Structure 1
Amino acid sequence: MSLKIVIVGGHGNVSLRLARLLVAAKHTVISLIRNPDQEGDIEDTGATPQVLSLEDSSTLDFAKAFEGKDIVYWSAGAGGKGGEERTKKVDYEGAIKVFDAIEAVQGPKPRLIYVSAIDLRDRNSPPPAHYNEADIVLSERVHKVIPAYMHWKYEAEKVLVARTTFSWTSLRPGGLTNDTGTGKAALGKTHLSPTVSRDDVAKVLFLLATRQDANGIGIDIVGGENPVEDELDSAIKQLQTEAA
């Protein structure tokens, strides 16, 4: 079945890879970008570019872009540019603008597939039980290096999980690389390493387009040795059982 899809943050490294996969599978894809100079890169993927800014465009503008769509992918972010103020503006306020826009769609709401980050949690509580010593050390280092990013991503995801008017799935990558994808990863409740290829993250996002059984759960992804299809099956079954 051909789906109508919007990618928010369409010029990102993962988004460009994702758009190619979706278009190759005969889905209709609109990639939202803030800079018209990026239109050629979007067209090269086979997707249709549309200029909308998370910082400057209104909630209504986004709601109009989402009307009649089956899926909205959030794969946007400040990318560490502009300091904490812009990180908050894009990664938190921009995300909430998209949540609000989905809720404002007249008629059926599109499903949201949200690219988040691994290890978003209350730092005043103990680490998850499945973390080992290496995870705890890495967690401390990451939160010290990019504290604003981790904070605002966590705040945005807390808002997301409280929304009930649309379906959502959160994919939470660990450290990313531009290495050629292997088609393998670890998904579910994972450790915080090793790193994972953007190719493989895009592949999982692509697979999630037809996985309605992943609604309402957050899935970690890091590098691994098992095929992503098998890992996704196992992760969805485990996490949905725990959420029931």
Structure 2
Amino acid sequence: MRIVIVGGHGKIALRLARQLADRGDTPVALIRNPDHSQDVTDAGAEPVVIDLEKATVTELTEKIMGADAVVFAAGAGPGSSAARKETVDHKAAVLTADAAALAGVRRLVQVSAINVDKPVPEDTGEVWKAYVAAKKAADDDLRQRDLDLDWTILRPGGLTDEPGTGLVALDEDVERDTVTREDVAAVIVALLNEPGTVGRVLNLVNGETPVVDAVRAASG
């Protein structure tokens, strides 16, 4: 399959590209900075340069056209401003969904964050509040698109760079904990192969169930 990864230089995205390439898929990594092209190529993906904060829906649609699925894995990243949480984590996600629909690419997996539907504590910092609000807004938008997209929202817990375990807990009601980025990528790969997860919002942490079994169990 040809899989377009939006936010293709992120830590999850690079792991995802490697896993997809290893199984014979063709990952395409959308990146903002052309200096990241070699990293993406080394991970087995085709680099495509586009700035999601400046691109039109037509420009992004052209990059997505012909794909079998899209993974939205973009994020403003640590140290970014509250304003960029809105432009990347929210608006770029909406732009991606719009572009996928226009391109006729129905399958979309969106990487969100655990518990973004829950109120944040009053003493939460401005940037974290903005991040949670942006992720929630992006998810809310996607959940209204049942007619033109086959979406799944994946909400990982606290991310770590530890080696993948291959064992996870995946469901709507999983409590917050940590999960390795390698295991997040593995779950995304499995979700792309499981149409029964369309329309599901799934929390993800490390657990005791093999990835493929956990994804199969999470199917509607």
TM-score interval, smaller chain: over 0.9
Q: Give the aligned residue type for 2:153.
A: S
Aligned to 2:133: 151
Return the alpha-carbon distance in structure 1 between the equivalents of residues 74 and 175 of structure 2.
21
Q: TM-score, normalised by structure 1?
A: 0.84
Aligned to 1:213: 196
Equivalent of 1:27 in 25, 29, 34: 25
Deviations 1:208-241 (A, max 9, x none): 12111111111110121221222222222xxx2x
The number of equivalent residue pairs is: 217
Deviations 1:13-64 (A, max 9, x none): 0000000010111111110000000000001011110001111121111101
Contact 1:19/1:29 (8 A) holds in 2 = yes
Matched, 1:181 2:164: yes
Aligned to 1:115: 111
Return the alpha-carbon distance in structure 2 between the equivalents of residues 191 and 208 of structure 1.
17
1:189 CA drift (Å) = 2.7
Equivalent of 1:169 in 134, 152, 158: 152
Q: TM-score, normalised by structure 2?
A: 0.93
Matched, 1:203 2:186: yes
Return the alpha-carbon distance in structure 1 between the equivalents of residues 25 and 124 of structure 2.
40
Matched, 1:69 2:67: yes
Find the structure with the greater CA-based Rg. Answer: 1
- Bigger proportion of residues as helix: 1
Q: Give the aligned residue type for 2:58.
A: L
Aligned to 2:9: 11
Return the alpha-carbon distance in structure 1 between the equivalents of residues 216 and 73 of structure 2.
22
1:199 CA drift (Å) = 0.7
Please list every run of 5 or more consecutive structure 1 residues that lacks an aligned counterpart in the other structure.
Answer: 124-138
Contact 1:32/1:51 (8 A) holds in 2 = yes
Contact 1:81/1:87 (8 A) holds in 2 = no
1:122 CA drift (Å) = 5.3
Q: Identical aligned pairs, as a percentage? A: 39
